[in-house]
């Protein structure tokens, strides 16, 4: 069971609630701002440091999707 400060991702991992979690919740509720959004560039840059790095498999998949 997940704690209040964690959530389960689509791939089954249990992680702390962070910037991306809050952004996606705002999108679901329909309260996110149009255009640039509610998140600053600084916050996105800081959160990218702790984001899950893509694996070789996902990198290859993304490349093929763009070319298709």
Residues 25-61: tens digit of each pLDDT = 888 888 877 776 777 888 888 877 877 777 776 566 5
Report the pLDDT value the prediction gives residue 63, as an integer from 0 to 100: 56
Domain chopping of the chain, boundaries: 6-67
The answer to whether the beta carbons of residues 15 and 6 sit under 8 Å apart is: yes
Segment 8-13 mean pLDDT: 87
Report the pLDDT value the prediction gives residue 67, as an integer from 0 to 100: 55
Which helix (H) or strand (E) segment is 14 a member of?
A: strand 14-16
Report the pLDDT value the prediction gives residue 61, as an integer from 0 to 100: 58
Say whether pTM exceeds 0.75: no
Distance CA(15)–CA(68), nearest Å, equals 33
More confident residue, 65 or 13: 13
């Amino acid at each position: 069971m997940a704690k209040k400060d964690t959530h389960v991702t689509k791939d089954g991992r249990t992680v702390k609630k962070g910037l991306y979690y809050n952004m996606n919740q705002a999108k679901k509720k329909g309260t996110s701002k149009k255009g640039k959004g509610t998140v600053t560039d600084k916050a996105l840059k800081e959160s990218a440091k702790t984001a899950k790095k893509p694996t070789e498999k996902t990198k290859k998949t993304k490349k093929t999707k763009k070319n298709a």
